[in-house]
């Protein structure tokens, strides 16, 4: 067996980027996602977010892929949020997501960035952050339309 350490920074949003992950439920949702991941042998190093999105730093294992991990985390968590009536309306995640590799040398920087979402979004909107991600990682060239 080989030794593998592949860090991935994941970002996904609520359906239509609706700000329905209210402060009162956010940490409960994130803790549930972490526990669910652990039960499925998905290693979440750090998770946090804001009213309409989630940031997650994971380490991929050799038998895992990003699409499957997100399907497991998003699908189960939206079911759980709805079953527990944590939002006023039916809860859904947006299909799209960001996933970028993270060098071992900047893992601590990414952790700090994820940890400070509340403070970060007092200065910058999610749409500004979204547009920065699109530009920084060259995603706009992959988007048609």
Domains of the chain: 6-142 (3.30.70.1290)
- For Cα atoms 39, 41, 46, give the angle at the middle one, nearest 5 degrees: 90
Share of the chain above pLDDT 90, in %: 75
Contact indicator for 69, 33 with CB cutoff of 8 Å: no
- Residue 137 pLDDT grade (very low, low, confident, very high; cuts 50, 70, 90): confident
Report the predicted TM-score, pTM, of the whole model to 2 decimal places: 0.87
pLDDT surpassing 90 at residue 3 = no
Average pLDDT value for residue range 28-34: 98
Lookup: tokens for 101: 């590799």
Dihedral angle of Cα 42, 67, 114, 92, to the nearest 10 degrees? -100
The answer to whether residue 142 scores a pLDDT higher than 90 is: no
Strand partners, 59: 7, 43
**What integer pLDDT is reported at residue 145 of this predicted model?**
41
């Amino acid at each position: 067996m080989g030794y593998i350490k592949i860090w991935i920074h994941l970002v996904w949003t609520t359906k239509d980027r609706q700000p329905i992950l209210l402060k009162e439920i956010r940490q409960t949702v994130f803790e549930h996602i972490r526990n669910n991941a652990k039960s499925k042998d998905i290693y979440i190093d750090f998770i946090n977010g804001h009213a309409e999105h989630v940031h997650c730093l994971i380490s991929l294992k050799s038998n895992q892929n990003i699409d499957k991990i997100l399907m497991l985390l998003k699908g189960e968590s939206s079911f759980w949020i709805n079953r527990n009536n944590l939002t006023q309306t039916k809860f859904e995640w947006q299909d799209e997501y960001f996933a970028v590799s993270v060098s071992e040398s900047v893992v601590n920087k990414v952790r700090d960035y994820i940890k400070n979402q509340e403070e970060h979004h007092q200065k910058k909107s999610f749409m500004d952050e979204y547009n920065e991600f699109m530009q920084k990682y060259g995603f706009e060239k992959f988007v048609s339309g």
